[in-house]
Homo-oligomer: A and B are copies of this chain.
Amino acid sequence: MARPRSDSEAVQDRLVEIACAIIEERGGQALTMQELAARAGMSTANLYRFFDSKGALLDALAEYWFRPKVAIMEDVIASELPARRKMYEFFARRFAHVRQSWQADPATLAMYIELAAEHIDHVRSYYDLADHYLGMVIGEAMSEGYFAGLEVDETIVLIKQMVMPYCTLATVIEQMPRLSEDKLARIVDAVFDGLSAQDRGARGGGLRAA
């Protein structure tokens, strides 16, 4: 993905970077169209040529923030790996990316995660996209014979629950000291070797005669 694609997008990216600087220095509340225009050395009227509302600016901020995460997912999906390895990479590379941000500046990362939670309407599409890509990996796994008897949608929910500390942003930073690629690999192996719709006794149904 060669980005930005046009001069206008280059300016928008530059404005988003300034918006990030405002947020990182003074918090999300400090980000107004007036403040951004002033910091960018342009009139507010000119700024509105690039973002016709605060909502459009927030959309651009979300796109900028999720861009590397989307690129990671697209790379993994496009790879030729078997489904099990693909699913590990799908979670592990995003986890490593978030850990890097966390190591660089934990407070700033926490602020962006909080900001995303406050503006869920501007970021929900990225969570939906992640589910969509996870569904694709699950589909490939199913064609390799895994997750017998489960539907794709319920498998998405189950796997997200089983790897939650590695993929839910707020949980990642809270659990960071206990997380590792090594543990994630064991969990993904357990997902592939253990997850199916078959009742195998955890709930006791397997002990009752049909």
Contacts and interface: CB of A to CB of B under 8 A. Distances in A.
Interface of A: 82, 84-85, 87-88, 92, 154, 157-158, 161-166, 171, 175, 178-179, 181-205, 207
Nearest to A86: B202
Contact of A185 (B85, B88, B183, B199): B199
Given A158-B186, A161-B165, A194 B197 contact: no
Nearest to A179: B161
B189 A200 contact: yes
A9 to B, nearest CB: 36
Contacts of A166: 161
Q: By CB atoms of chain B within 10 A, which of A154, A163, A171, A175 has the most?
A: A171
Nearest to A150: B186
Contacts of A207: 85
Nearest to A187: B162
A157 B185 contact: no
Contacts of A195: 186-187, 189-190, 194
Contacts of A163: 161-162
A88 B194 contact: no
Name the residue among A87, A92, A164, A181 with the largest chain B CB count within 10 angstroms. A164
Contacts of A179: 161
A157 B88 CA distance: 19
A178 B87 CA distance: 22
Contacts of A192: 194, 200-202
A108 B82 CA distance: 47
